Amino acid sequence: MIRPALVTDATTLCTAERDTARTPGLLVSHPHELQPEAFARKIAALAGNGLYLVAERDGRVVGHALLEPLGLEALAHVMSLTIVVHPGHTGRGIGAQLMTHLLEWAAAHPGVLKVELRVRETNHRAIALYQRFGFVEEGRLQQRIRLPDGTFIADITMAWFAPAS
């Protein structure tokens, strides 16, 4: 089941992102950089100005995703996408369900013309998901992410464009 995120989900979402961040190359953040209060603030902020969703299975939150406006008038037509399928729940279609809801929402909002995201070049599963939903690569930010072992990986910028009416 996909539902809107609630402020009361903040701790669960933060814990899941901390767990995800323990695998180098999935998220940019380190676990200690993620705080439940920041999740609560973002959920509240997006309630009327974007979209924040959670995926539930058997009463447990197993993924979350959001579309966030970029905040500048010249970029009002662009949303930034973040999606996280929680550890232990990948490969079960949760990401596809979240993406379907996000892009249906974006397509239903005429002011949203573009959805952007960044994904690590080593996250092949996520890249394949985004491509399946029509995202195209726009560029690579070389040596952007330093992994704990000191090596670098690139961030790939990808975008989805709303269908022309």
- CA 78, CA 161: separation in Å to the nearest integer? 9
The per-residue pLDDT string of the chain (165 residues; one tens digit each, 9 = 90 and over) reads: 999 999 999 999 999 889 888 888 777 788 888 898 999 999 999 988 899 999 999 989 999 999 999 989 999 999 999 999 988 888 899 999 999 999 999 999 999 999 999 999 999 999 999 999 999 999 999 999 998 889 999 999 999 999 876
Nearest one of 160, 85, 98 to 125, comparing CA atoms: 85
**Phi/psi of residue 163, nearest 5 degrees:** -60, 140
CATH (domain of 56) = 3.40.630.30
**Residue 128: is it exposed, middle or buried by C-beta count within 10 angstroms (0-12/13-18/19+)?**
exposed
What per-residue confidence (pLDDT) applies to 165?
64
What per-residue confidence (pLDDT) applies to 21?
83
Domain that holds residue 97: 2-161
SS3 state at 67: strand
Our count of domains for the chain comes to 1
Q: How far separated are the first and last CA of the chain, in Å rounded?
A: 30
State the pTM of this model. Answer: 0.90
Contact 67, 102 (CB under 8 A): yes
DSSP one-letter string for 114-152 = EEEEEEETT-HHHHHHHHHTT-EEEEEEEEEEE-TTS-E
Measured torsion, CA atoms of residues 75, 119, 141, 104, in degrees rounded to the nearest 10? -20
